[in-house]
């Protein structure tokens, strides 16, 4: 009986360690995503107000393309969107086909510039339907990998982290700014 009790206790201990590890990994991944959102949501909302591209789409694409800001391209090149182009890091031993930006903000601005230059942009400007935006980006050839997986991953982030709330916040902020401008005239 004591042997069974020892094995039972051992199983409980191992199970507790495994569950604790899974929980810690999940909490770390969630906090990484939340930290990324916190760092970049204001910029995404400002760009939405300026261009009409939803902040949820901007953030979702950036989160996927930069692996929540952990990719080498985002760290070394400030490239949060997987944008191909020139960089000067080859001399430092980092060879990459991705474009280098002076800052993450410059990368975000370049992304919305690319989006606003696409033919689908005028039809979607101001729309908050992120799935239409992702379809437009796919059809325009933005994604070089499996488009279904790319769309699925971005949709996952938009839904999991309620990124659409930033679309709504950006709309209210724009309204408030316009109202304050009118009151201050």
In this predicted model, what pLDDT tens digit does every residue of 63-89 receive, in sequence order? 999 999 999 999 999 999 999 999 988
Which phi and psi (to 5°) does residue 95 adopt? Answer: -100, 125
- From the list 53, 59, 21, 11, the residue with the least C-alpha distance to 38 is 59
Specify the pLDDT at position 22.
58
Query: What is the spatial distance between Cα 167 and Cα 41, in angstroms, rounded to a whole number?
Result: 10
What is the rounded CA–CA span in Å between residue 54 and residue 45? 8
Instruction: Say yes or no to pLDDT of 1 above 90.
Output: no
The predicted-structure confidence for 165-181, as pLDDT tens digits, reads as follows 999 988 765 544 454 44
pLDDT of res. 184:
44
Mean pLDDT throughout 44-48?
95
CA angle 41, 111, 180 (to 5 degrees): 45
Question: Looking at residue 147, what is its pLDDT?
Answer: 82
Q: What pLDDT, on a 0 to 100 scale, did the predictor assign at position 182?
A: 45
Give me the chain's average pLDDT, please: 84
- Please count the CA atoms within 13 angstroms of the CA of 9 that sit on its side-chain side: 6
- pLDDT value of position 21: 56
Q: Which CATH class is domain 46-169?
A: mainly alpha
Question: In the prediction, which pLDDT does 31 show?
Answer: 86
User: Taking the C-alpha atoms of 159, 161, 164 and 167 in order, what is their torsion angle to the nearest 10 degrees?
Assistant: -160
* Predicted local confidence at residue 2, as pLDDT: 57
Q: For the whole model, what pTM was predicted?
A: 0.77
**Residue 92 — pLDDT band, cuts 50, 70, 90?**
confident
């Amino acid at each position: 009986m004591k042997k069974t009790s020892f094995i039972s206790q051992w199983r409980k201990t191992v199970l507790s360690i495994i569950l604790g590890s899974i929980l810690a990994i999940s909490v770390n991944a969630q906090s990484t995503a939340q930290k990324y959102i916190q760092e970049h949501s204001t910029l995404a909302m400002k760009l939405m107000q300026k261009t009409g591209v939803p902040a949820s789409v901007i953030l979702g694409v950036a989160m996927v393309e930069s692996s929540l800001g952990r990719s080498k391209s985002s760290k070394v090149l400030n490239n949060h969107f997987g944008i191909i182009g020139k960089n000067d890091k080859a001399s430092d031993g980092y060879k990459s086909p991705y474009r280098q930006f002076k800052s993450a903000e410059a990368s975000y601005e370049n992304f919305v510039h690319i989006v606003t230059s696409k033919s689908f942009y005028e039809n979607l400007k101001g729309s908050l339907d992120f799935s239409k935006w992702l379809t437009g980006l796919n059809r325009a050839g933005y994604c070089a990998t499996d488009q279904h997986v790319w769309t699925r991953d971005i949709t996952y982030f938009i839904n999991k982290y309620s990124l659409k709330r930033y679309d709504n916040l950006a709309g209210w902020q724009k309204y408030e700014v316009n109202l304050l401008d009118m009151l201050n005239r």
